[in-house]
Structure 1
Amino acid sequence: MAERFDSATHPHRRRNPLTGEWVVVSPQRTKRPWQGQTDDGADASAPTFDPSCYLCPGNVRAGGVTNPDYTHTFVFENDFAALLPSVPGLADGDVNPAVDDLFGMAHADGECRVLCFSPRHDLTLAKMSPAELGVVIDLWRDQFEELGESWEWVQLFETRGAISGASNPHPHGQIWSSNFLPNEIATETAAQSGYWSTHRSPMLLDYAEREVAVRDRVVAVNEQWVAVVPYWAYWPYETLVLPRRPLSSFADVDDGDSEALADVLGQMLRAFDRLFGVPFPYCSGWHGTPRSGGDGPQLHAHYYPPLLRSADIAKIPASYELLANLQRDLTPESAAADLRAVL
């Protein structure tokens, strides 16, 4: 009798409908020995206040500005912003993509802010109560609404943990607003708009309900939100946070949505930390509909944690992935099961 295909044990490919990219899934490789790089697990202990931290209340930042003695959240203009408002326009002699196919250049205005989630140096999102997490979600909404009045795209994101690239351990996120659509957003917007044209429904709303029906990749769910390890996940414990009703951006999030999001997000983040017994590093960010609008794009968050097998083994994209195709070993279904087990 011929062997039957089993996605839990046989290599295969899965397509990401948001980007059109394919991911090679190789579950048989989870049995391979590891003699590659390891990293020390993140320090689980941190003081409530660190006099050397440039984000703690009352301390002097790296740019020389003194923080106020804030008691809740705190937002300030990034002292070393990647994008700046009112950048001069391109001069006549500058390279323009309209006239040069090889050396394209375009104008890039923007505004960058830092969002301190709490005055406490040790209070990460995963450790917050639902009410405390709700304050952060409301901060995201307020900042999005303010900046969205001026900029085409408002990118809310958080980089947690040194292994993910965070430059400071104090719980914080950032917002980079721009007069252009970043590459990932342009790709996702086109894909969701194309799906809308065919199905007349939001791609991610349809996807969320199918995941809830199956449950194999669901990490946490309530009546309004769901967190899943996406079917096409690349990072080992990658998750996608989705609303279960049409929400095009944070401007559509009401108080009920905020409360329900705090519930699902809190469950997922606590599961991250419990998985390997350390503060879980990740890169995360919120996507939705650009200011210029469009049919189909739905509010959602991506979480990309790099940890692979333990607190000291991280996934690092290697030659095949950089030069040929994205690839993962652990199946999304197994990853979701691991996270559900520690809820």
Structure 2
Amino acid sequence: MSEFNMEDHPHRRYNPLTGEWVLVSPHRAKRPWQGQLEKVAEEKRPEHDPECYLCPGNDRIGGEKNPSYDGTYVFTNDFAALNLDALKGGVNEDDLFRAESEQGICRVICFSPRHDLTIPQMDVVAVKKVVDLWQEQYLDLGSRSEINYVQIFENKGSVMGCSNPHPHGQIWAQSSVPDEPAKESLRFKAYFDKHGKTLLADYLVKELDKEDRILIENDHFVALVPYWATWPFECMIISQRAIQHLGQMSEDEKTALAAIYRDLTIRYDNLFEVSFPYSAGIHQAPTDGEEHPEWHLHMHFYPPLLRSATVKKFMVGYEMLGNPQRDITPETSAERLRMLPKEHYKG
């Protein structure tokens, strides 16, 4: 019998950030990108849409009017999922029926006044302004006594539930730590207490040595396909220095994050020559007033596309009831992304 080979045989991979597993079945789709690549007709958007509630000078749905901003712009979400007015209270019946009130602040960040530009089409200087605003918002929201975690994220594309095509992201700052960063907090703390270093610092050293999942590297950040990736072209951006949160970043580090964020999303767009959909977000230390030396800033990218601009990966059946599962290995995805041009396909 042949020896076990992760490129040929089904296996499970462990995610040390969450303590969960992903099933990998490479024999089902050895070369998933070969064959016809379907394309979709992309909507041509104007630089300014008078009907868009995020464009400069336009009225928002809530009745407020946007200023004529010429860079980034942030405002409190008119239909926020969280607010600071929520009454405090809860329910606990026999440990089976539990609920507790949650307070928070939700904000929207417009990346640019241009209705037609996404992150990969902006220049690094413009993307750096987005990173600057992330830092400002993290420090502002995190300084409030009611806020213990600041989640910064972006949903790109209608397939990811984005209801407005104007390039933007969101911030949900809340009194509790959400489940996904809470899982990471537990794993990070256990690893740091045992080894005296952050989990991602050690992981990054080993990934840089192996090289087969590395996509892009600059002086301060690395973009890679994680060993435990679940989505077909899932990626992470990890700081080379063990930064706990955005507030600790220097000007050079913010520029480097902007550059690698742009470079990675260019690769995504070039993969199927489409404005590539994804959900992305930054995981960083809670804002609970405690020291968190175990934390290491990183950014997750979860894109759904699999074989073309129209063929998506769905988490159904076994994935919902058993474990997440993927057919192509993370190494195959990384090689595919590495082969792509560094310049955007639209020029």
Q: TM-score, normalised by structure 2?
A: 0.93
1:287 aligns with 2:283: yes
Distance, in Å, in 2 between the alignment partners of 1:305 and 1:296 is: 28
Q: Provide the residue aligned with 1:296 in structure 2.
A: 294
Quote how far apart the aligned CAs of 1:335 are: 0.5
> Aligned to 1:225, which of 221, 225, 229?
221
Quote how far apart the aligned CAs of 1:175 are: 0.3
Amino acid at match of 2:149: W
Q: Provide the residue aligned with 1:134 in structure 2.
A: 128
Amino acid at match of 1:47: P
Q: How does 1:255-266 map to 2 (within 5 A)?
A: 255-266=251-262
Q: Provide the residue aligned with 1:326 in structure 2.
A: 324
Whether contact under 8 Å (2:82, 2:104) holds in the other structure is yes
Quote how far apart the aligned CAs of 1:41 are: 3.7
> Aligned to 2:334, which of 327, 333, 336?
336
Amino acid at match of 2:150: V
Instruction: Return 5+ residue gaps in structure 2 as ranges.
Output: 343-347
Identical-residue share of aligned pairs (%)? 46
Structure 1, residues 204-250: CA drift from partner, whole Å, max 9, x if none?
11111211111101111012100011000000000010001110000
Quote how far apart the aligned CAs of 1:46 are: 1.9
Q: Provide the residue aligned with 1:250 in structure 2.
A: 246
Runs of 4+ aligned residues of structure 1 deviating over 6 Å after TM superposition are none
Count of residue correspondences:
334
- The two structures, once aligned, show a CA RMSD in angstroms of 1.8
Structure 2 CA distance for partners of 1:25 and 1:33, relative to 1, 3 Å: closer
Quote how far apart the aligned CAs of 1:42 are: 6.9
Structure 2 CA distance for partners of 1:240 and 1:32, relative to 1, 3 Å: closer
Q: Provide the residue aligned with 2:100 in structure 1.
A: 106
Q: How does 1:1-343 map to 2 (within 5 A)?
A: 2-30=1-29, 41=40, 43=42, 45-90=44-89, 94-96=90-92, 100-150=94-144, 151-292=147-288, 293=290, 294-342=292-340, 343=342
Q: Aligned with 1:104: secondary structure? A: strand
Distance, in Å, in 2 between the alignment partners of 1:122 and 1:81 is: 25
Quote how far apart the aligned CAs of 1:291 are: 1.5
Quote how far apart the aligned CAs of 1:188 are: 0.6
Structure 2 CA distance for partners of 1:275 and 1:247, relative to 1, 3 Å: same
Distance, in Å, in 1 between the alignment partners of 2:43 and 2:222 is: 27
Quote how far apart the aligned CAs of 1:10 are: 1.1
Q: TM-score, normalised by structure 1?
A: 0.94
Q: Aligned with 1:22: secondary structure? A: strand
Instruction: Return 5+ residue gaps in structure 1 as ranges.
Output: none
Whether contact under 8 Å (1:27, 1:329) holds in the other structure is yes
Q: Aligned with 1:105: secondary structure? A: strand
Distance, in Å, in 1 between the alignment partners of 2:338 and 2:258 is: 17
Quote how far apart the aligned CAs of 1:339 are: 0.8
Distance, in Å, in 2 between the alignment partners of 1:317 and 1:139 is: 33
Whether contact under 8 Å (1:95, 1:104) holds in the other structure is yes
Quote how far apart the aligned CAs of 1:40 are: 7.5
